[in-house]
DNA sequence: TTGTGTTTTATTGCCTCC
DNA sequence: GGAGGCAATAAAACACAA
């Protein structure tokens, strides 16, 4: 009795301590949260409840996390805008437009001018707007992501948009959101949650009315953000880039005509087919990161996969992984804090086998996700399912394409762009009046160097998990624009996928069938 | 090992909308 | 007035240089 009471008191003590002290989310929780956040920046109550239940967190924690996550996004956007705004001395208007985010994503932006649409608005419009058709969405995606045209499945933008949403996540612009998964069989977007719709109170008309203009404005804004310092067909005016190493921009394929989009193709970068020399050329400064990811790490992470429900072990692994993650940050960019985190541990940290349940369920979900039968009218379930799909896909993708892609928080500490204003950024916050008076020669030189470096990084840095950093996204989109302008033939993603699948077949765990692999790969437009 | 800086989490207050 | 959101703040956890 004494023993038990003692134990109990200790447990209470621990519990109290846990309650008292803030507790870091585990990797798996963060993974789930981030994944969910990628899709829904403003989850409904049902979503939160479901998420809370699955993650063993309180709804309050979920809400708080999302709130802080949005703030984080916003802060990052702001920092980036500040950094970019320094390049573009014109004004903050461009910054706001360029970021695609309103200054205040909650209050003011709800009724703000469409030019300041933020992720919230866009998402809400996408969710609640019943007037947007599949064709419309498809057109939107196609018209803006020509590189994926060949791989776009009309019946499901899930496959093609997976990368897109990753690549263009974080509410950069209205194209971020995946539309089709919310489509009903008749092509209309079902109301997600009447209450949520009411609460949010977004009227579709405004967005629809200006959609075209938004697209134009967003693209224009991005261009403008870059525009001061780049020409569409070359380096910045008056700036000469360092000569890139030979083959740095070459596609690692035998089809030079398709090299265009191989530049930032993560799988290729991580492909064993790429020689070490070329890898070095491509990302020499990140070599240390990749080499750090040694076999021991792989062993550990694979071991994680096999110990789904060992929470204690998980906590330790979480800590270790956090450490590793932060030490391995290969480059900056903030879009994905998820991918690098070990996706395999006890996903929801309970002992109910939920994680394995998701794994087993994914096959069915993946096999049916392209069909309308896989869609439910139940919005919460629908979102949840899709969320689970994504978790499964992400997990499997990591397995298929190697752990060396694992990369989490790349942003901070990189010395370029940090969540918080880096010292460089902070120090770069030159008073406007000073800037307006004109940059001194020295400042201009520094500016050029930074821009140059940025441009290089844009083409060099590739997220380990296949997501592109914000800057890459901007660059990529700008590149898409350029391609559209000059009718450059994009790399057929399908072809790349074929190669990737072929390559991955040797790497993938034997437990995965070819069909499964192909299916998975087809849903990932890396 | 320690000090410092950064990130993440939790709390509180205020605002807006219904 | 309640709900949901953001902003500000504090504090814990973490990373890293000295």
Chain A 109-138 residues in 7 Å CB range of strand B: 110-111
CATH number, domain A27-80, options 1.10.630.10, 1.10.10.60, 1.10.760.10, 3.10.20.30: 1.10.10.60
Question: Which nucleotide's C1' atom has the smallest distance to the CA of A320?
Answer: C14
Locate the domains of chain A by residue range.
Answer: 27-80
Q: Which residues partner with A231 through β-bridges?
A: A234
Confidence (pLDDT) at A386:
56
pLDDT, mean of each 10-residue run, chain A (526 residues):
40 42 80 83 82 82 86 78 58 34 32 36 38 34 34 32 35 35 34 34 33 41 46 40 44 36 34 34 34 36 37 47 41 36 37 34 33 34 52 46 36 36 36 36 44 41 36 39 36 35 35 32 34
Cα–Cα distance, A25 to A90 (Å, whole number): 41
Q: Which secondary-structure segment (H or E) carries A494?
A: helix A493-507
The β-bridge partners of A153 are A156
Task: Give, rounded to a whole angstrom, the gap between the first and last alpha carbons of chain A.
Answer: 59
- The set of residues, in sequence order, having a beta carbon less than 8 Å from that of A352 and lying 6+ positions away, is none
Does strand C come within 7 Å of the CB of A413?
yes
Q: Between the CA of residue A246 and those of A242, A243, A290, what are the distances in Å?
A: 12, 9, 21
Spacing of A14 CA from B14 C1' in Å: 34
- Grouping H, G, I as helix, E, B as strand and the rest as coil, residue A190 is coil
Burial annotation A469-507 (CB, 10 A radius, 16+ → b, else e): bbbbbbbbbbbbbbbeeeebebbbbeebbebbbebbeee
Q: How far is the CA of A197 from the C1' of C3 (A)?
A: 14
Strand C and A107 CB separated by under 7 Å: yes
Look at residue A83 in the predicted model and tell me its pLDDT. Answer: 66
Would the Cβ of A415 be found within 7 angstroms of any atom in strand C? no
Query: Which segments of A1-91 does DSSP mark as H helices, in order?
Result: 2-20, 27-39, 45-55, 59-87
Tokens standing for residue A414: 């990189």
**Please, which positions of strand B sit below 7 A from a protein CB?**
6-11, 15-18
The pLDDT of residue A469 is 38
3-state secondary structure of A14: helix
* Strand, coil or helix: A126: helix
With H, G, I as helix, E, B as strand and everything else as coil, classify residue A42: coil
- pLDDT for residue A390: 57
Distance A200 CA to B17 C1' (A): 8
DSSP class of residue A121?
Answer: H
Distances A10 to A22, A144, A350, A453 between C-alpha atoms, Å: 18, 58, 21, 55
**Under 8 Å CB-to-CB from A327, ≥6 apart: which residues?**
A292
Q: Is the dihedral of CA A169, A171, A176, A179 positive or negative?
A: positive
Among A470, A456, A455, which residue's Cα sits nearest to residue A332? A470
Task: Give residue A20's pLDDT.
Answer: 54
Question: Which nucleotide is closest to the Cα of A334 by its C1'?
Answer: B7
pLDDT at position A328 is 37
CA dist A526 and A270 (Å) reads 11
Asked whether the beta carbons of A47 and A36 are under 8 A apart, the reply is yes
Residues 6+ apart with CB under 8 A from A475: A226, A455, A458, A459
Residue A423, pLDDT score: 35
Token reading at A363: 């096959």
């Amino acid at each position: 009795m004494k023993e038990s009471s003692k134990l109990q008191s200790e447990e209470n003590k621990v519990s109290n301590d846990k309650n008292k002290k803030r507790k870091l989310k585990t990797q798996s929780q963060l993974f789930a949260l981030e994944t969910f956040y990628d899709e829904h920046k403003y989850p409904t109550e049902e979503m939160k409840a479901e998420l809370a239940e699955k993650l063993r967190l309180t709804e309050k924690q979920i809400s708080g996390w999302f709130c802080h996550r949005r703030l984080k996004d916003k802060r990052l956007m702001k920092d980036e805008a500040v950094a970019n705004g320094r390049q573009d001395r014109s004004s903050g208007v461009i910054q706001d437009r360029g970021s695609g985010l309103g200054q205040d994503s909650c209050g003011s932006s709800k009724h703000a001018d469409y030019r300041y649409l933020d992720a919230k608005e866009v998402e809400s419009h996408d969710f609640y707007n019943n007037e947007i058709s599949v064709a419309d969405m498809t057109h939107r995606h196609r018209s803006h992501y020509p590189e994926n045209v060949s791989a776009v499945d009309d019946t499901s933008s899930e496959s093609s948009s997976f990368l897109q949403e990753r690549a263009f996540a974080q509410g950069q612009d209205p194209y971020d959101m995946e539309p089709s998964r919310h489509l009903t069989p008749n092509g209309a977007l079902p109301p997600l949650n009447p209450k949520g719709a009411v609460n949010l109170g977004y009227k579709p008309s405004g967005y629809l009315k200006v959609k075209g203009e938004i697209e134009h404005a967003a693209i224009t804004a991005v261009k403008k953000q870059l525009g001061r310092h780049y020409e569409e067909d070359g380096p910045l005016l008056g700036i000469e880039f360092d000569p890139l190493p030979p083959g740095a921009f070459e596609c690692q394929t035998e089809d030079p005509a398709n090299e265009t989009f191989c530049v930032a193709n993560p799988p290729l970068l991580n492909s064993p087919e790429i020689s070490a020399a070329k890898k070095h050329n491509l990302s020499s400064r990140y070599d240390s990161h990749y080499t750090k990811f040694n076999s021991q790490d792989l062993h550990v992470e694979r071991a994680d996969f096999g110990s789904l429900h060992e929470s204690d072990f998980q906590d330790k692994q979480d800590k270790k992984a956090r450490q590793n993650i932060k030490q391995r940050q290969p480059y900056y960019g903030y879009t994905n804090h998820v991918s690098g985190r070990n996706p395999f541990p006890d996903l929801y940290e309970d002992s109910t086998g939920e994680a394995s349940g998701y794994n087993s369920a994914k096959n069915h979900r993946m096999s049916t996700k392209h069909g309308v039968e896989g869609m439910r009218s139940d919005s919460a379930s629908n979102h949840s399912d899709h969320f689970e799909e994504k978790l499964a896909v992400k997990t499997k993708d990591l397995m298929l394409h190697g752990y060396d892609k694992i990369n989490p928080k790349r942003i901070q500490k990189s010395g370029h762009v940090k969540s918080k204003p880096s010292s460089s950024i902070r120090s770069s916050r030159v008073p406007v009046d000073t800037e307006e008076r004109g940059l001194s020669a020295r400042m201009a030189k520094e500016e050029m160097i930074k821009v140059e470096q940025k441009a290089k990084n844009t083409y060099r840095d590739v997220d380990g998990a296949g997501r592109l950093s914000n800057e890459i996204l901007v660059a990529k989109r700008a590149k898409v624009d350029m391609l559209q302008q000059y009718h450059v033939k994009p790399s057929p993603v399908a072809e790349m996928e074929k190669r990737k699948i072929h390559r991955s077949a040797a790497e993938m765990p034997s437990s995965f069938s070819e069909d499964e692999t192909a299916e998975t790969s087809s849903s990932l437009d890396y």
